[in-house]
Amino acid sequence: MTRVAILPNGVKVCFSFDKEIGMTQGFARCLCLLLGCLLAACTTRTDAQEKDMGLDPATAAYQKYGYNDRPVEARLGPHRYLIPANYFRDQIGPDFQGNFSLLVQWPDLQPLPPGERSKQDMETFAKQVTISPDYVDRVPMEGLLEKSIQSHSAKDSLAYQNPRERLDLRDAQAPVFGLIPYHVNHDRLVAYEKQQEQVFGFPSTAKLEDTWDWYVARDTGGAVSTVIKCDSHLQPDGFIIHGERLIREGHRSAGCIHYFLMPDEKISFSAFYPRVFLRDWKRIEDRARALLTQYRKD
């Protein structure tokens, strides 16, 4: 009599025995042991096999371990880190290119528990602070933030007169949260748009409320240490903070992009969050730097 066993990967294993003689208990044990070994061999993948299958490290890790907070290797240039998996955007690890972002939740700036990001509600999503570090290896760190508030157009071009792209053409405001806000000057914007209309032959649809406000902090030596670009102050926040709750108000929400550095490690950061969290900008910076310091292993 012939029997066929089909393993999970589709492999068929055939065996036969004499019906009249039957199967001894010892033979049955040996057969079970053989099938167990075959099953283990077919279901256990090596890293090389996963690479051949085209699986990126994050997907392979999830298939092996599921959601957890085990340390996952991440790299920024020569720096090596072992960061708990639930800090990453997908709560698994870096993408197939090695890039990664770390997500923490306002107000405590801690990650969600493993697996929770896949089933978060809208308020939890809105409380998210995304921290994206990058290694800077081809340009000097000195003056890097200043470049983000300067025009990159030729000085004899019309684009160089765009008041949205130059700090020196903006209007400084009273300090807020330890930052100096810079708003786009309305008269300069109107004049620039009229020049564009004369050159290109069609009217501009730009509105002051669609511009970005810039917030700048400087160190004791006067160098720019922080640059934050937020939706215009003419737009509502879209949220109200009530204790540790974040209550939605209206259909639009204002956001910020926050730039800062770890100069000695040649790392630049960009952080993304709702504008209502602007008051915590320094705490967010400190948390981002502390994370990389804590989990650095090189």
Q: Give tens-digit pLDDT for 146-170.
A: 999 999 999 999 999 999 999 999 9
CA-wise closest residue to 63 among 104, 102, 97, 93: 93
Residues 6+ apart with CB under 8 A from 185: 163, 169, 170, 171
124 and 77 in a common domain: yes
190 and 85 in a common domain: yes
In a domain, 52, yes or no: no
**Peptide linkage before 163 cis (omega within 30 of 0):** no
Contact 156, 149 (CB under 8 A): no
75 and 34 in a common domain: no
Range of the domain at 162: 69-295
> What string of DSSP letters covers 91-132?
SS---TTS---EEEETTTTBPPPTTGGGG--HHHHHTEEEEE
pLDDT at 20 over 50: no
216 and 135 in a common domain: yes
In a domain, 157, yes or no: yes
32 and 120 in a common domain: no
What's the pLDDT tens digit per position in 238-288? 999 999 999 999 888 999 999 999 999 999 999 999 999 999 999 999 999
Q: pTM value?
A: 0.79
In a domain, 161, yes or no: yes
98 and 176 in a common domain: yes
96 and 28 in a common domain: no
35 and 118 in a common domain: no
> How many structural domains is the chain composed of?
2
In a domain, 64, yes or no: no
160 and 18 in a common domain: no
In a domain, 183, yes or no: yes
